[in-house]
Amino acid sequence: MDYLAIVVALVVVTASSIAIHLLARAKKARPGNLPPGSLGLPVIGQSLGLLRAMRGDGGSRWIQDRIDRYGPVSKLSLFGRPTVLLAGPAANKFLFFSGAFSTRQPRSVQRILGEKSILDLHGADHRRIRGALLEFLRPDMLKAYVGRIDGEVRRHLQENWAGRATVTVLPLMKRLTFDIISALLFGLERGAVRDALAADFVRMVEGIWAVPVNLPFTAFSRSLKASGRARRVLQEITREKKKASQVEVEHGNGKASRNSDLITCLLSLRDGHGERLLTDEEIVDNAMVALIAGHDTSSILMTFMVRHLASDDATLAAMVQGN
């Protein structure tokens, strides 16, 4: 009984402390220059509500509900950071054409993807990184990748689709997309390293869309650990390709090496003084971002394409006949 009384007393004291804290916050006058809305609980804010809505394909409805309640401009807290929601044409024009703003990812995302990516750089550094990435995406470079993509697709279909009456498309499209990106960005062939990187990639994505609480049992903590492992893999790949490119340059074959994958391409770029255009850290961080950026959009698009073909016999027949 004494133990039960102690527990009850602790619960009462805790509840009273929370109530006093909330009352004190309620009595504080809201600064006149802040929009309406609420920051919610510390760290958590409105993150859980948004995540639940997105998992149920209700992200747009969640945003519209806030607009209906607070108007086109409101404050909230997402992923541990105070946030302002802007909606409507006027707000978009103000945001994108005002020189007072610069884009930055939440600190939680920076911890997963790195601080030297194109998502968080501005001015001359942003232009330098953007120019380097576009070098890899030149039309003549893209033509050289068609054969490698075709090989990955054929192997994937043979291993995962051939001879099966039914398949679950989205997970397979995600793995196919990951395999293609790994080959083109990192020159990473099939094997244990690619498989381990694929598993860590899944955990990284889960942490990006999670409340940024770094405790052992949280998705964010697992994501940070997966990011560290993935980063070490990319750092090792970068070191190996740097050595290989130095050997090729000595033999006069630098141009051929440059076309092989993103990391090799970025290692080969030089500025006007003959110095490397990107540091190793910048290469690794932007390779991480490129892996994330190209994954879900491509895999979801291919999934809907397969769904359309499965439900439209005429289109499927025309495509088969065309081949």
* For residue 10, pLDDT beyond 50: no
* For residue 210, pLDDT beyond 80: yes
- Confidence at residue 258, expressed as pLDDT on a 0 to 100 scale: 59
Ranked by mean pLDDT, the top range of 54-58, 101-105, 264-268 is 264-268
- Confidence at residue 3, expressed as pLDDT on a 0 to 100 scale: 43
Please give the share of the chain, as a percent, with pLDDT higher than 90: 23
Every domain of the chain and the residues it spans = 35-101, 123-322
Span 247-254, average pLDDT = 57
Q: How far is CA 225 from CA 13, 200, 218, 232, in A?
A: 37, 8, 11, 11
- Work out whether the CA dihedral 301, 306, 311, 316 comes out positive or negative: positive
32 versus 320: the higher-pLDDT residue is 320
- Confidence at residue 16, expressed as pLDDT on a 0 to 100 scale: 47
* For residue 221, pLDDT beyond 90: yes
**Given phi > 0 = left and psi -120 to 50 = alpha, else beta, which region is 191?**
left
Pick the CATH number of 123-322 from 1.10.510.10, 2.40.50.140, 3.40.309.10, 1.10.630.10: 1.10.630.10
Q: Report the alpha-carbon distance of residue 51 to residue 204 in Å, rounded.
A: 16
- Burial, 132: exposed, middle or buried (Cβ in 10 Å; 0-12, 13-18, 19+)? buried
| DSSP label of 276 | B
* For residue 15, pLDDT beyond 50: no
Collect all residues with Cβ–Cβ distance below 8 Å to 285 and sequence separation of at least 6: 113, 114, 115, 116, 117
- Confidence at residue 138, expressed as pLDDT on a 0 to 100 scale: 84
Q: CA geometry: angle at 177 spanning 171 and 183, to 5°?
A: 135
Q: CA geometry: angle at 297 spanning 291 and 298, to 5°?
A: 80
User: Partners of 73 in the beta sheet?
Assistant: 86
- Confidence at residue 79, expressed as pLDDT on a 0 to 100 scale: 80
* For residue 22, pLDDT beyond 70: no
Q: What is the pTM of this model?
A: 0.74
Q: Report the alpha-carbon distance of residue 267 to residue 242 in Å, rounded.
A: 7
Q: Round the CA-based radius of gyration of the chain to a whole number and report it.
A: 25
Indicate the residue type of 263.
I
- Confidence at residue 269, expressed as pLDDT on a 0 to 100 scale: 87
- Confidence at residue 34, expressed as pLDDT on a 0 to 100 scale: 83
SS3 37: strand
pLDDT, tens only, 291-314: 888 788 888 899 999 999 889 888
Chain centroid to CA 162: how far?
Answer: 31
- Confidence at residue 251, expressed as pLDDT on a 0 to 100 scale: 57
pLDDT-derived band at 108 (thresholds 50, 70, 90) equals confident
Q: Report the alpha-carbon distance of residue 83 to residue 279 in Å, rounded.
A: 32
- Confidence at residue 275, expressed as pLDDT on a 0 to 100 scale: 85
Q: How far is CA 39 from CA 27, 210, 217, 225, 315, in A?
A: 15, 17, 25, 29, 50
pLDDT-derived band at 272 (thresholds 50, 70, 90) equals confident
